[in-house]
């Protein structure tokens, strides 16, 4: 009888330990890790007729639903401010809307500039509107980079966002 009680006590202790172990491994986390944000990358080429890739435009989503848009040129001219334009429409059918105008300072090598950083809202016709990754994908636009403000030669161009054929 004493042997049975010893075995029952051991089995009970083992069952209790396993129950605690399985409870600790529960997949019901109170603070789940947010899923990584989405990203889309768009190719920039030398020209509308030369498909040699010279850079990229990257749209990325942050965990707080804000968005970033960054441009990277594979090569840039040192100390030259390359004008950058985000224009409505497509490379083949541009419209007169310049959505963003900025510069990317060349460093003699690969150069990157964040154009939108953690954008959550935009102002359209005087009204502030919520803006997120899905909103950005609805913009019909293309990117164009010139060599400099005084030399009007395009060094990178490409359809981005909605203008890219799905």
pLDDT in tens, 130-160: 999 999 999 899 999 999 999 879 999 999 9
pLDDT of 49-59, one tens digit each? 999 999 999 99
CA distances from 12 to 1, 9, 26, 77, 127 (A): 16, 5, 21, 75, 67
Mean pLDDT by 10 residues, the chain (166 residues): 52 50 49 67 94 96 94 94 93 88 93 94 84 91 93 91 77
CA dist., res. 82 & res. 153, Å (int): 10
Three-class SS of residue 10?
A: helix
Q: How many alpha carbons fall within 13 Å on the CB side of residue 61?
A: 17
* pLDDT score, position 34: 47
* pLDDT score, position 160: 94
DSSP 8-state class, residue 93: S
For the chain, domain boundaries: 39-161
* pLDDT score, position 23: 47
CA dist., res. 1 & res. 140, Å (int): 83
Q: How many alpha carbons fall within 13 Å on the CB side of residue 114?
A: 7
Instruction: Please give the CATH topology (third level) of the domain spanning 39-161.
Output: Immunoglobulin-like (2.60.40)
What is the separation of C-alpha 164 from the centre of its chain, rounded to a whole number of angstroms?
A: 16
CA dist., res. 139 & res. 119, Å (int): 15
CA dist., res. 48 & res. 58, Å (int): 19
CA dist., res. 159 & res. 86, Å (int): 10
What is the phi/psi pair of residue 149, to 5°? -70, -25
State the Rg of the chain over Cα: 27
* pLDDT score, position 1: 52
DSSP 8-state class, residue 32: P
Q: How many alpha carbons fall within 13 Å on the CB side of residue 4?
A: 1
């Amino acid at each position: 009888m004493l042997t049975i009680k010893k075995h029952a006590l051991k089995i009970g202790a083992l069952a209790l330990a396993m129950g605690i172990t399985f409870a600790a491994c529960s997949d019901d986390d109170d603070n789940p890790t947010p899923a990584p944000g989405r990203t889309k990358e768009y190719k920039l080429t030398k020209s509308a007729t030369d498909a040699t890739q010279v850079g990229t435009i990257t749209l990325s989503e942050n965990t707080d639903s804000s968005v970033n848009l960054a441009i990277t040129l594979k090569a840039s001219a040192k100390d030259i401010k390359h004008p950058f334009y985000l224009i409505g429409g497509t490379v083949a059918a541009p419209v007169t809307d310049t959505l963003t105008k900025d510069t990317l300072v060349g460093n003699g090598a690969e150069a990157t500039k964040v154009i939108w950083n953690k954008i959550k809202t935009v102002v359209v016709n005087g009204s502030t509107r919520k803006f997120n990754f899905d909103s950005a994908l609805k913009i019909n636009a293309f990117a164009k980079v010139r060599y400099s403000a005084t030399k009007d030669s395009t060094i990178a161009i490409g359809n981005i966002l909605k203008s890219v054929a799905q």
